[in-house]
Every structure is written in C-alpha cells, then in structure tokens.
Chains A and B, each alone.
Chain A
C-alpha cells in the first residue's frame, strides 16, 4: 500500500469520525488547507519529472477529489443532523386555545338581518325602499288613510301621542309604516313600486305585543296592477324569504280602512316545538294583510282612482323573523341580552345575497 493510499484512508476515516461541522473543518484544513497533507503532496509535483508528474499528479488529484467529495457528503449529513437537532428542541404547545377574532365575535341583530333579506328579495322584483319619520301627523297616519273620525285606532289606548301644540294639533308615533306610502304618493308620480320598512309603535304590551315593533309594507301604483299580481308577489316573496320550494297560501277577504277589497293571508305550516315548517302541515298561520289601495286613499294623495290603481300589503318584520328563525319571545328582541344576541344573531360576513342564499 502506497503512502498516498494510506493517507487517503486516514483522512477519509477522520472525515467519517468527525462528529460536528467544526471537527470536519479541522479535517478539511488538515488535508486540503494551505499546510494540509494533500496540499503538501501537491506542492511536491513541481519538483518532479514530467512523466512522474503525470502519474503521481493524477494519483494525488484522485485522492484530493475523493477527500473533497467525502467532505461534502459528510458536511451535508452533519448539517442535516444539526438542523434536526435544533428543530427537535424548538416546540410549541399547539393546543393553546385561540382567541376569537372580531369577525367571529361580532353579531348582526336578527332584525337587521331580516331587514337585509327583505330588501334583497324585493329589490330583485324592482322595488325601491322608501322611509319616513317615526313622529308623524294625524293626517298622514290616519286621515289620508281613510280612518274615519272616532276610529278606535285613533284613541290614546292604541296610539302614542305627543302633547298638543298651540293650534290644537298633536303629533303621534306612527302606528304603521303606511304614512310612508302617503308620503311616497304625494311626492312621486305613478308608476310607484316601493317597500317601506320601518319602526312602528302601539300602546300595547304583553306576551305577543311590544310597544315598539317593525313593519314592512309594499305599495304598487300604476294603470294595471291587480290582485292577481299581488298574490304572485307575496307568493314569490314567501318562497324566497322562508327559503322553501313551495308555500301554500290562503287569501281570505278581510277589512282594513285603507284597502278595498282587503285580504288577509295565511300560510300553511306544521308547528313542531319552536320550529315551523312551511309548505306542509295542517295549521294556517296568519302573516300579513293586503288589498287594493282604497280609492279614498288615492284621492287623498292626489291620484285619480279611475285612472290609477294599485295594491299594498303590510307585515311584521319581527314576526316573520321570529317565524323563520324560531325565536319564541318577542320581547327578547329588544332586551340586548348578549347571550340571546350571540345565539340568534348573525356573523358580519353572513350577508344575505340572492346568489349565495339568504341565510346560508
């Protein structure tokens, strides 16, 4: 065995035995450094004859290549082992509980959600949204809507009034959103197609009534709208709002001062504890009142009832929200109980859309 071979084996053995990158570097310097053993052999080449140099040079270079390769390989192994060792010491507790982000914590009140759902559905049918003040005149809330003098709804029993003004007139809190219809008809030429959602008030408080509640009314005035259209709109609305393939609706003749003919609408349902299923069952649940706008109302709003006609409807937003989402007690809607709001409320990114579904 030549010296070179012995040297190479010794170096390779040292490489294999190097336990970390520093030891390996010492081996490299000892072999390939300026004063390294292989570098020293290479330095001897200059003193050799060309033939000798040819054979010896090739042999030394082979040995150098072998050492270089072994160094690289060993370095990769040691580097990888060192990384593994470091990573093995770097651990975290992945079971630490997270804190809810704001988009998880925040809630939209079910009434706001329902409001957005209604608007989305009716906007698609071409309805604009009209609003008016909560504090109204007797004229807009009653007289122009064909409530006769002495009608029970005008009593202090039913309606919240403010104190009389010097001229004897007194303002009131609107008892329905119909004054918005009046305001719309007085300020706009037909054709009219609006919904009027809003807050309304009646002097009433028990299990199923709160002195403040919310209504949405619809109004259509043009030259050809009739009860058949009204039926269709309400049917489409109920299907869309309750998110069912079909609802069975029952239209019954009824009476309201501001519509003639007047109808009440029931939807068929099955009640099961706090859940109500629509489109099946034996029960009829009243959900809204509607009818053709009374000629006296049209006249009071400057519209000729022999030229124009139209219909209107009204329903309780609180009520349909409770039906849809299974909320049992009306009063809880206004109590601000965070437990209730967290449970029945909606997350801010749950925005009702027609494309994505109202509540999914």
Chain B
C-alpha cells in the first residue's frame, strides 16, 4: 500500500515529521517498507539558465555552455543534450551531487579537453518520468538558483507500507490516518458523507444470481457528464503513487480505491445493452479486459454481464468494451461487495493483480458500500457535472454487529502491560470500537471495517499495538525445577552421534533434497504413487526419496565434474517408504569415490588405495557404534540390496527380520541409471531399526574384572576354498569355548603362489584367557586342537602346514 504524505494529511491533521510518522507506522503494525523522499534526495538540484552555448571544439554533438546558477560566478558545463541552447532554464547538478537516475555521483569533469563544472539533467536522471528528449525545460519565470524540487512542488514524500493481510481498512489512506490518530500522531479528519438525491429512477436493472458470490450491489446512473482529464490535484495524487491518470471518471474510482479502500467500477452506459446480471461465467466465455488482455472464463469466475455478454470481471477488472472514455456522457457507477475467497482464487487463476482484487480479497467495509457510491457520485458531479439517478441496491449492505465481552484484565494476562482502563477506552474509541461498561468485563462493539477482529485476543492486540509493544516488559522465564534430563529423543541422539561419527571418519556432510526424480527413486525401491507430488516444482524434484543415496551419488558426480574425484560424502536425514508418519525413517548414508579410502584421501607418498566395499562397511559400523547399536549382536550376510554389486556387498542385520543396513560397491546398473561414473562405494543404515538399549537405573559401569592369569595367543593358518567367509572361520574358532576364547582376529589372508588357484589361506590369532588357574601346555594344546577340528569341519578346510 502506497500513499503520499500530503494525501495522508488530507485525513490526518498533524505536525509530526515524516520520520516520526514512519517510525510510528512500523511500531503499530503498518510496517514501512520504503520511503521515497524526493525532496530530500533532490535537494542539491537547482534551477539554472544557459547563457551561452557554443559548439565543442573537439566534438560535433557536444556544446560548451556558460550557465548562470544564481550568483556572480557562472559555470562552464559541457552538455550533449540536443535541446541545450542559450536562454534555456533547466536543472543543474554541481560536482559532488548524487544522480539517482544514473546511480553515480557527478564529479568535476574534463570532456574532450574542456573542463565541465557540473551537469544539466534530464527528468530521468533525477528519477522522475521523462517527457522530452533532453534536459529539463523550465518556463522563463523559473527562479534561477532555487531548489528545483521545492519550486516544482514534486517533493511530496511517498510511503510504502507492507500491509499484513488482516488489515483491509488500511488499504485506504483513511484507515492509516485513523490508526495514526489513535497513536497520538494527530487528529483524524473524516467528514461525513451526505446522500445525494436521485432525480430519476435508474434505468438499468440489476439481478444477482448468487448472493454468496455477491452479497451486495449498488448502482446508479449519472446522465450528461462531460468526461476529460481530471484536475491537477487528482492527477498529482495518482501519479505520486505510480498510477497513470486516464480520465476523470476512471481517476475518481482509482482515487476512492486508495483514499477509502473502496474500489468502484464505472461503465459507459451507452455501451451497456439491457440490464446487468451478476452471475457465474459460462465455460469458454471471454472478456477483453482493461489491461488489453483477453481472458477465457469458466463457471468459477463471477462476472457482471449484460445482453452483449460479459462486461466486467467482478471485483477484479472491468472490460474494455464498456469502459469509460472521453466521449462518455452517461456513466453507471457500481459499488459492490464480493466473496473474498472467490476473488482471490479468480485473481490468482487469471493472473491479475489489480488494486480492486487486492482490496476485495481482503474484504472491504460492507457498511461503506452505499456511502462509497454517494461519494463517487458527488465527485463525478463535481468534476464532470451530470444528473444522478436514484440508486439501486441489491442485497443487504449489512453490518454484523459483533460485540465482544472483554475482561479488561485480558490485556495484562496476555501482553503483560498495565493499561489504565480510560486509556484502553481511548485507544479503542479512536480505532472506531465502542466500549460499554467500566469493567471488569466490558462490551466492545467492533467497527464494520475490522472484520479481522473476532475475539478477546484481537482486542488485546489492538490495545497493545497502539499503547506500544515496546512497553511490554522483558520478563525472565525461569526454567523452574524441571528435571535436568536430556531433552533429545533417542532418534535425535542417534542422528547427532551418527553425524559426528561419520565426520570423524573423514566424510563430509551434505544436505540434499527430500524429493528426487521418479526414475532415481525407482532404482532404490521408491516411486510409489502415494509418494509422488501432485505439483512438483521441477521434474527432477518429483518423488519423495526412498534413500539418501540418489542425492549423494548426484552430489558426488557433480563434484567429480568439477575435478574433485576423490571424495567421501555422507548425509543423515529422513527417507520415505510410505506416506504415513511411521513410514518416515531416519537414515545415515555415505558414498566414497576414487582414492578416498579409510586410510586417507588422495595420492600420498605413504601409499594410497582406492576406496573399497570394506571402507563402506567400516563407515556403516562407525554409524552403528556411534548410535549405540549392540555391536556384538550384528550379523553380516554376504550380498546386499539390489542396487549393490552382488558379490561386493553385505547386509547388516540382527536376525533376518531386522535388517539395519547395507554396504558395498554400487551396482553398475545403479550407476548407469543415475548417470554416475564408478566405481562408487556406499552404505545405508536405518537408525530407527537399532534396537533400544536397556534402561539402567544408574550410570555405573559393570565391575571391571582383571584376570590374574596371562592370556595366551595361538596362531593358526587354514587353507580353505576362496568362497569360504572369514567370518565363518572366526565364528567356528570363537565357538570352541566361549569362556576361554576371548578374541579371534584375522591377521592374514593370502591367495596366490604356493596355494591352489581356488583356495586361499586365512591366518587367525586366537586369544585364550585362563579364568581360574594358569593353563598347562596340555590344556592349551587341547583347546588348539579343538579349534583346528571345528574350523576344518565347518569350512571343509585344512590346517596349513
């Protein structure tokens, strides 16, 4: 919402400065977004007269001018404007002046060898509308040396406020003035409106087909008007806020739209055939609107039609055919009420942002429908003459008589401010509310222009914003004796730890989109219809992600394109396996590419290795350990999800029913489908699947048992088929005696010379921890023999000689 300071002063008697008014507007909820204060900005530009204008010695199109600036020291200025000639009065900027239209500061110049002591300006250079080609031309009586903007009276500051959608009343200058007056910024001027008696019945009848779309419609004819340019005061008002004056009749409607928040429409009565009907458009009907565009309509659009068809888009924009021109002699003035939701939806669908729509979609003051018509009639008669008909009023220009029982203590309860009741009553009275009673509960009647006020809390807001939000006392909010317990839920803890755990392994955290393309989703088991957006913003952001990996793979590839080929990325975030809340999971995933292995990234003198599937396994285990998974209970099964390489992948589970995640090398088909170069290592762990740890009553750790007996370590090497899993060897060895065997590690795996082609050698170190006494050599040998028997039996292997 835009208005000029002088326009505001039409409705507010005030001596306050622009700055103070602007600050107050912001502090009462009418946030000032911008002030265009030309008087301040253009103060350095003065009126000057060109005394002589000679051709520049070194340039055909330039003139060297002597310019009288109002003192006895004329300036020499080089000017390229075609209209620069001796005797012309124009506008001058001296060196050091900021030129707003060009966004630079003029300095002392030397143009092709001739000194130039300033610049003569075009209107455009001042940020004003350009009307001629060249520098500004002023009349002969313009006083040389005077400040141009003051002399031209173009310095009226324009204020733009960012209006919240609830304040329909402040789409008019009167509403803003009323608020400022309530906030002690002056006296509200709002003279009453006298009805104008009609001289004859209105010849055009009105039928409203759907009162829900059009709760009220008032119309009257003014016959014998003389339309033409509107007077200067009106044109100036409109141009000050960026509106183009058209003709008096149209300008009057625009004026009242901004002055009173009352949009109106004027039809040229000669172009209206028959009576008017307010109805839904028929599918396929069209209208050439006043913006010069043709709109195709349907039954959701409310229109005003005559025997010719649609003449106007109700509450949004008039039609070209029945618009008023300078030839108009009989004018129909319409003042109506429209359904806010329908106006908003129609405006959005047709893509029309008109000043009428802006107001009607917020809702206009219903009680003002008829007075608005009277005021318009008065202005038409004043500016264009003519004889008014009686008014036709269809529907009820209703007021809904909202009365709120308001406990005055409510202000203190919610806003913590002590406002004396007389002050409360004063504020509300200024805003147009009527207060009856003196407490503790008063009755407050809401004015018709404040449809946003419906309850007690709204009244509190009215009092608070005028009394001053800055008076709300900052009040400490003690945490009280709430228990000092962790505030994060278990999944939040896991998420947080998983992130730090992965970063500590050298991976870099990315945050990628929750939605991905359907083909990418499908590769990872997604793409179900219930997870596809009905209105995606782009085709590659269409489906909720079933996995974090598509986003990470895409990011890895984008980085590779930038030349960063060795990288390790991870993400911990939500994934979607269905549209119910319980189908949303928290996953942790990562990818490794190129030489970004667990040992370090990139080529290095100490050795470098390509990331492999077991680096991804280590990442997955780091997540699980950080998130508190029972590591001893985890089982690794060869082979993973179908998006992984079948021979270089694994599944992490606790029994086949609870799969916690997968790791491995990505399947070449996955890479191809996602357009990524491989090989790429990846893992995915679902944090929600980690079993809950048992709650313990205290934080004490179990007692540490330190054995008095030295552990014994024995090494074994087995020759087994290549297909045999080392995990099976370890498990067989550990299972021999769960008390004595405390650790089994694989310290060597060998394939090659000396071993059959389809075999490998796996060497393990077994730690035997005596419990009650030192073991004799025979006892140790017995355990070792059992290990050999168990392992060879389980793996069909042999002990390596």
**Are A150 and B345 in contact, with the CB atoms below 8 A?**
yes
Task: Note all chain A residues with C-beta closer than 8 A to B28.
Answer: 253
| Smallest beta-carbon distance A43→chain B, Å | 50
Chain B residues in 8 Å Cβ range of A129: 487-489, 492
Docked CA distance A101–B568 (Å): 13
B569/A336 in contact, CB under 8 A: yes
Q: Is B165 an interface residue (CB 8 A)?
A: yes
Contact for B482 among A126, A173, A347, CB less than 8 A: A126
Given A106-B502, A152-B348, A229-B475: A337 in contact with B562 (beta carbons within 8 A): yes
A243 proximal to B (CB < 8 A): no
Residues of chain A contacted by B507 (CB below 8 angstroms): 106
The reply to whether A232 and B414 form a contact with Cβ atoms under 8 Å apart is no
A21 at the binding interface (Cβ < 8 Å): no
Q: Is A348 an interface residue (CB 8 A)?
A: yes
Note all chain B residues with C-beta closer than 8 A to A171. 530, 579
Which listed residue, A170, A211, A251, A338, touches B569 by the CB 8 Å rule? A338
Known: A126-B479, A150-B344. A106 touches B506 (CB 8 A): yes
B706 on the interface (CB 8 Å rule)?
no
Partner of A231, one of B460, B475, B487, B505: B475
Interface residues of B in 507-546 (CB under 8 A from A): 507-515, 529-537, 541, 544
A351 to B626, CA, bound (A): 15
Query: What B residues does A235 contact at CB under 8 A?
Result: 474
Residues on B with beta carbons closer than 8 Å to the beta carbon of A226: 413-416, 475
**Bound-complex Cα distance A24 to B672 (A):** 76
- CA gap between A134 and B586 in the complex, in Å: 12
B579 and A162 within 8 A (CB): yes
A229, B480: Cα distance in complex, Å: 14
A199 within 8 A of partner (CB): yes
* Given A160-B536, A255-B165, A345:B509 Cβ within 8 A: yes
Instruction: From A106, A133, A160, A205, give the contact of B505 (CB < 8 A).
Output: A106
Interface-central residue, B166, B482, B503, B551, by most chain A CB under 10 Å: B503
Question: Which of A128, A253, A260 is within 8 Å of B455, CB to CB?
Answer: A260
- Dominant SS among interface residues on chain A: mixed
Interface of B is mostly: mixed
Contact B579 A107 (CB under 8 A): no
Contact assessment for A131 and B492 in the assembled complex, using a CB-CB cutoff below 8 Å: yes
Q: Is A225 an interface residue (CB 8 A)?
A: yes
Q: Flag the segment in A28-36, A68-76, A111-119 that touches B.
A: A111-119
Tell me the chain B residues, 450-499 only, with Cβ under 8 Å from chain A: 452, 455-458, 460-461, 464-465, 469-470, 472-477, 479-480, 482, 486-489, 491-492, 496, 499
A163 CB → nearest B CB, Å: 5
CB–CB B511/A333 < 8 A: yes
**Chain A 223-281 residues near chain B, CB threshold 8 A:** 225-229, 231-233, 235, 251-255, 260-264
Q: A129-B492, A212-B513, A252-B26 are in contact. Are A149 and B414 (CB under 8 A)?
A: no
Q: Is the CB of A135 within 8 A of B576?
A: yes
CB distance from A155 to the nearest CB of B (A): 7
Once bound together, how far apart are the Cα atoms of A342 and B568, in whole Å? 12
Take A260-B461, A337-B559, A338-B559 as given contacts and tell me if A106 and B415 are in contact as well, using a CB distance cutoff of 8 Å. no
Measured CB to CB, the closest approach of chain B to A316, in angstroms, equals: 14
Give the number of residues in A that approach B within 8 Å (Cβ atoms): 92
CB-based contact A251/B487 at 8 Å: no
Indicate if A103 sits at the interface (CB-CB under 8 A): yes
Alpha-carbon gap, A211 to B156, bound state (A): 41
The residue in chain A whose Cβ has the minimal distance to the Cβ of B603 is A99
Q: Are A108 and B514 in contact (CB under 8 A)?
A: no
B606 at the interface (CB under 8 A from A): yes
Chain B min CB distance to A121 (Å): 11
> Contact: A170 with B534, CB < 8 Å?
yes
Among candidates B348, B413, B544, residue contacting A155 with C-beta atoms closer than 8 Å: B348
- Within the assembled complex, what's the spacing in Å between the Cα atoms of A253 and B27? 7
Nearest Cβ on chain B to A50's Cβ, whole angstroms: 59
**Complex contact B472–A106 (CB within 8 A):** no
Residue-wise, chain B 390-426 has the 8 Å CB interface mask toward A (1 for contact) of 0000000000000000000000011110000000000
Q: Decide if B104 is an interface residue (CB 8 Å cutoff).
A: no
Do A341 and B414 touch (CB < 8 A)?
Answer: no
Counting chain A CB atoms within 10 Å of each CB, the highest count among B31, B480, B500, B568 belongs to B500
User: Is the CB–CB distance between A134 and B584 below 8 Å?
Assistant: yes
Partner of B499, one of A96, A103, A112: A112
Residues of B within 8 A of A173 (CB): 514, 533
Nearest chain-B residue to A115 (Cβ)?
B496
> Is the C-beta of A176 less than 8 angstroms from some C-beta in chain B?
no
Q: How many A-B residue pairs have CB under 8 A?
A: 259
Task: Please measure, in the bound complex, the distance between the C-alpha atom of A164 and the C-alpha atom of B533, giving whole angstroms.
Answer: 10
Taken together as a complex, chains A and B put the C-alpha atoms of A107 and B510 apart, in Å, by: 9
With A129-B492, A226-B475, A227-B415 as given contacts, are A348 and B504 in contact (CB-CB < 8 Å)?
yes
User: Does A162 contact B533, Cβ atoms closer than 8 Å?
Assistant: yes
Q: Per-residue CB proximity of B336-353 to A under 8 Å, as 1/0?
A: 000011001100100000
Contact of A351 with B564 in the complex, beta carbons under 8 Å: no
Closest to A291 in B: B461
Contact A107 B505 (CB under 8 A): no
Specify which chain A residues have a CB less than 8 angstroms from the CB of B652 in the assembled complex: none
- Whether A295 lies near B26 (C-beta < 8 A) is no
Chain B residues near A263: list those with CB within 8 A. Answer: 469
Flag whether A309 is at the interface (Cβ < 8 A): yes
Chain B CB within 8 A of A26 CB: no
B167 at the interface (CB under 8 A from A): yes
Interface mask (B567-604 → A, CB under 8 Å = 1, otherwise 0) = 11100111010011100100000000000001011001
Q: In the complex, which residues of chain B have a beta carbon less than 8 angstroms from the beta carbon of A79?
A: none
Tell me if B233 counts as interface (CB < 8 A to partner A).
Answer: no
Give the residue of A102, A108, A334 whose beta carbon is less than 8 angstroms from that of B512. A334
Query: Of B340, B414, B489, which one neighbours A131 at CB under 8 angstroms?
Result: B489
Task: Contact check, B474 vs A228: say whether CB atoms are below 8 A apart.
Answer: yes
Q: Which residues of B contact A106 (CB under 8 A)?
A: 502-509
A59 in contact (CB, < 8 A): no
Instruction: With both chains docked as a complex, state the minimum distance between the C-beta of B526 and any C-beta of chain A, in angstroms.
Output: 13
Q: Is the CB of A337 within 8 A of B558?
A: yes
Chain B residues, Cβ within 8 Å of A193: 482
A234 to chain B, nearest CB (A): 9
Cβ-defined contact, A252 with B27, below 8 A = yes
Q: Is the CB of A211 within 8 A of B537?
A: yes
A255 B584 Cβ-Cβ under 8 A: no
A277: shortest Cβ distance to chain B, in Å? 22
Nearest CB to that of A159 among chain B residues?
B535
How far in angstroms is the closest Cβ of chain B from A220?
8
Instruction: Report whether B536 and A228 are in contact in the complex, using a CB–CB cutoff of 8 Å.
Output: no
Query: Which chain B residues border A132 with CB–CB below 8 Å?
Result: 581
Closest A-chain residue to B584, C-beta based? Answer: A133
- Given contacts A106-B509, A124-B479, A199-B573, 7 further A-B pairs with CB under 8 A are A102-B504, A106-B505, A125-B479, A160-B536, A161-B533, A212-B513, A253-B469
Interface residues of A (CB under 8 A from B): 96-97, 99-109, 111-112, 116, 119, 122-129, 131-135, 149-150, 152, 155-157, 160-164, 170-171, 173, 193, 199, 201, 203-205, 211-212, 220, 225-229, 231-233, 235, 251-255, 260-264, 292, 294-296, 305, 309, 333-339, 341-342, 345, 347-349, 351
User: Contact residues of B with A, CB < 8 Å?
Assistant: 26-29, 31, 164-167, 340-341, 344-345, 348, 413-416, 452, 455-458, 460-461, 464-465, 469-470, 472-477, 479-480, 482, 486-489, 491-492, 496, 499-515, 529-537, 541, 544, 551-552, 554-556, 558-559, 562, 564, 567-569, 572-574, 576, 579-581, 584, 598, 600-601, 604-606
Could you write out 25 A-B pairs with CB less than 8 Å apart? A104-B506, A106-B508, A107-B508, A109-B510, A132-B581, A133-B581, A150-B345, A163-B532, A163-B534, A193-B482, A201-B514, A203-B537, A211-B541, A220-B477, A227-B415, A231-B474, A233-B477, A252-B27, A252-B31, A252-B469, A253-B28, A253-B465, A260-B455, A263-B469, A333-B511
4 closest A-B pairs by CB: A336-B555, A253-B29, A150-B341, A126-B479
